[in-house]
Structures are given as C-alpha cells and as structure tokens.
Amino acid sequence: MPPLTRNPFDEDQRPAAVIAEQNRWLRSLTQEKGLVLADYHAVLAGAHGGYKPGHTEDGLHPSAAGYAAMRPVFDKALAEAGSLTPAPRLPPGFRTWRWSCRERRSCRPPG
C-alpha cells in the first residue's frame, strides 16, 4: 500500500501507522506463501510515513517522480513472478490521469 499521512476524506484520520502495519503483514504473507510483492511503500515513503518529498503533488497520488521510483519495483516483481517481458515504456510527456484535490478545491467525494 502506498504511503499516506492523512486521509483527505477524514482530516482526523492519520493512517500512516496502520498502512505500515498492513505492509508488514503483506510482506510476511507473500514470503510465507511464496508470492511476489511489488512493495511501492518501501520506495515512496519517507521516515514520517508519508510520501518522500517530490513523490506526490497532492499527498494522495504519486507524482511523475513517484511513478518513476515505482517502475523498477514493478519490473523486478514482474521478473520475479516469472515473466521476462517488462511493461512497455510510456512515451515522453505522457501524463497519467489522476484525481486532484486541488483542482476540485476539496478532497471530499461529491454528493
């Protein structure tokens, strides 16, 4: 699970410790079952439990730098899972769609 220091839908909720515990459980489970885990948290999270500086723009979704940090983790997990074909490279300038709290001026769901 990716890092998150606060829930944008509930400002009082601070999930960093819960996410860290869930990731420890996932690592343990995948080792126990002989599965492969793409541990994005390990490359995205800073010491405070949230994203490292530059790896997010809105605190919820990875930025281009965040996705770039995730790429080698994905490729390694894919190779470990038995596939020798890595995912295709995205064309230069490609932007992934992401929901932006700033653009909406709110991180609360509509309705």
Give 20-68 pLDDT, tens digit per residue: 889 899 999 988 888 899 999 999 999 888 899 999 988 888 999 999 9
Q: Work out how many domains the chain is built from and give that number.
A: 1
Question: In this structure, is residue 110 part of a structural domain?
Answer: no
Query: Is residue 100's pLDDT more than 60?
Result: no
- The reply to whether 111 falls in a domain is no
What per-residue confidence (pLDDT) applies to 94?
A: 62
Beta bridge partners of 10: 7
Per the domain annotation, does 10 fall within a domain? no
Q: Residue 11 domain-assigned?
A: no
In a domain, 40, yes or no: yes
Its domain, for residue 76, covers: 16-104
The reported pLDDT for the residue numbered 65 is 94
Grouping H, G, I as helix, E, B as strand and the rest as coil, residue 86 is coil
The model's pTM: 0.66
Q: Is 3 among the domain residues? A: no
Secondary structure letter of residue 92 according to DSSP: T
Q: Could you tell me if residue 21 is inside a domain? A: yes
| Distance of alpha carbon 52 from alpha carbon 66, whole angstroms | 9
The chain-wide mean pLDDT, for the chain, equals 79
Residue 105 burial by Cβ neighbours in a 10 Å radius (0-12, 13-18, 19+): exposed
